Amino acid sequence: MERISDVILSRSFLEKIFGFGSLRIQTLAGQLSEKGYGAEISLRGIQEPESIQKLIFQLIKEKREKEKLAF
């Protein structure tokens, strides 16, 4: 968790209509390219992606605070 540098939310037109989206997770360890997006992990077709994105950022924050890491 402490190596995640960004969680990028994207939605197509249809995903917006139906409440779905995709999250691309990038880490500090390096960028692997997936179809040119530069994400190491892609989660597609997620319901309420904003909530998942917020949860991931909260978990990162808690982990960094617990281990006294500064990023």
Q: Where are the domains of the chain?
A: 4-66
Alpha-carbon span 67 to 46, nearest angstrom: 30
Taking only the tens place, the pLDDT of each residue in 21-70 is 999 998 876 555 455 455 578 899 999 999 999 999 999 889 888 887 76
Global pTM value: 0.74
CB 32 within 8 A of CB 40: yes
**For residue 43, which amino acid is it?**
L
